[in-house]
Structure 1
Amino acid sequence: MSPYNYSKVGGESCTEELSEYKQKNSEPDRFASWSKAGEKFQFLRWPVTMCLLFSILVCELSILHKQPSSLQLGGELNALIPNFSIEQKIFHVDIKYASDHNTITSMNLTKQYWRDLMPRGGGFINVPDYASHTLPSPMHFPQYPDKKVYSVAVFHELHCLMHISSYIDELVMKIRNKDFNLNESEIGHNDHCFNYLRNALLCCGDTTLEGQSQALMFKDIPGTDGTGAVHVCRNYDEILSWAEGQRIVDAKDSF
């Protein structure tokens, strides 16, 4: 008998060892494949990066474009109305904006001077896409059902001053004629105008420094009537022209 014991070589054990060997050696091959694939697409890295950066830049610019470039004092928040030029103006007394408080002819003429300050269309404009802006609800007038109507504030303010001036004239004439019947709705309109103009003045806050009045009534009295000082103002003629270009109707006394 042979001193050596021989065992039969099993096919299963060889197969398992071969499988393990292949698995161990396939992992480096897999990494090598990924590495080669990465090298192939390496040239795309910078173009893709630049495209992403460009997309971000476009998004930021579109957001900034929707915002006003700079908020001008007294300007419109949504940039629906342009900024207007600034000018220096000296206030002077202009007697035509006050009547003699005595005759109908003078009162009517004064009213006309006030109306001349208003644009055609009365300062009302149409904003069809109002919902995409920071705005209150629009006004709806039955004669213009398809219009989303807004009022430019400065013309509302002028309207209120014109109303107060006219109301004082009517009140003075009633007193002169000993007529003490009052129109309660007009009183309510006055109250609205005083409150509205108070808000407008506090909003704009004109800080021009005013000095001694040169009017005769202040000759021996320290006081100011607001004339003579240089104010920094927005160009009203430009505002007027723009509003007329956007008007819904032609009449000055509209709606």
Structure 2
Amino acid sequence: MSPIPRKTYRFLPDPKYVRDDMLFDEDDTLHTLHNWIPLSAVARGYVQIPDYGSYDILSEPYTVAINRTSDGPAYMMSVFHQLHCLSYLVEHYQQGYDGVELTDEVAHHSAHCIDYLRQSIMCAADTNLEGETDAGPGWGSEHECTDYDVLLAWANEHSAMAWRNGLLPGEAIL
């Protein structure tokens, strides 16, 4: 895989993806999270690396449903695993706000996601310096980032399956 180019982004709040009032109502939360779906690749981040055996650093791939009749090797790109974890935590945070009791499965999955995101943040270690702006804490600062459009295009070109085709209208978790 060739390196994905870098691009400068200015961090600003975007109500399409997060709103202050979205957590008060399950429908609002799910509607807002549904807007996140295009942020994920068509295969939910699972990509095929045809010559994966020639890379010493790669572990064994997952086996995923490539289509309705066959399975194949695939890797999940971490960025899409991270987005999945964040959307999972948002949905279940809202359910807790609504008084839904935490199950063992949700507790286990949430703990995994919290630790996975902690390690992902530390791995990326964004060292851009933030200062005071009119936009609020953390907003308005420029960050040198992976060009997400290029990354998403690469992931879609190497997709292992057509995950979005099986997505139901009410499903929002990436």
Same fold, TM-score > 0.5, yes or no: yes
Structure with greater helix share of residues: 1
Q: Tell me what 2:92 maps to.
A: 167
- Say yes or no: does 1:228 pair with 2:140: yes
- Say yes or no: does 1:183 pair with 2:103: yes
| Structure 1 residue 166 displacement after superposition | 0.8
CA 1:172/1:136 → structure 2, altered by over 3 Å: closer, same or farther? same
Where 1:95 maps in the other structure, the secondary structure is: coil
Instruction: Map residues 182-201 of structure 1 onto 2, 5 A cutoff.
Output: 182-201=102-121
- Say yes or no: does 1:153 pair with 2:78: yes
Where 1:97 maps in the other structure, the secondary structure is: coil
> What is the alpha-carbon root mean square deviation over aligned residues?
2.1
Cα distance in structure 2, aligned partners of 1:86 and 1:137: 29
- Bigger radius of gyration: 1
Q: Tell me what 1:137 maps to.
A: 60
The answer (yes or no) to whether the contact 1:87–1:233 under 8 Å persists in 2 is yes
Q: Tell me what 1:56 maps to.
A: none
- The code of the aligned residue for 2:11 comes to F
Counterpart among 19, 34, 41 of residue 112 in structure 1: 34
Where 1:148 maps in the other structure, the secondary structure is: strand
Cα distance in structure 1, aligned partners of 2:79 and 2:112: 15
Instruction: Map residues 15-164 of structure 1 onto 2, 5 A cutoff.
Output: 81-98=1-18, 100-133=22-55, 134-141=57-64, 146-164=71-89
Cα distance in structure 1, aligned partners of 2:84 and 2:94: 15
Structure 1 segments (4+ residues) deviating >3 Å: 141-146
Where 1:231 maps in the other structure, the secondary structure is: strand
| Structure 1 residue 213 displacement after superposition | 4.5
| Structure 1 residue 141 displacement after superposition | 3.3
- The code of the aligned residue for 1:139 comes to Y
| Structure 1 residue 251 displacement after superposition | 2.2
Cα distance in structure 1, aligned partners of 2:122 and 2:161: 31
| Structure 1 residue 165 displacement after superposition | 0.8
Q: Tell me what 2:171 maps to.
A: none
Cα distance in structure 1, aligned partners of 2:149 and 2:66: 29
Q: Unaligned 5+ residue runs, structure 1?
A: 1-80, 216-223
Query: How many residues in Structure 1 have an aligned counterpart in Structure 2?
Result: 161
**For each residue in 1:155-182, what CA deviation from the matched residue of structure 2 results, as whole angstroms up to 9, or x when unmatched?**
11111111111111111112xxxx5x32
The answer (yes or no) to whether the contact 1:101–1:173 under 8 Å persists in 2 is no
* TM-score (norm. length: structure 1): 0.58
- The code of the aligned residue for 1:135 comes to L
Of all paired residues, the percent bearing the same amino acid is 29
**Higher RCO (C-alpha 8 Å, min separation 6):** 2
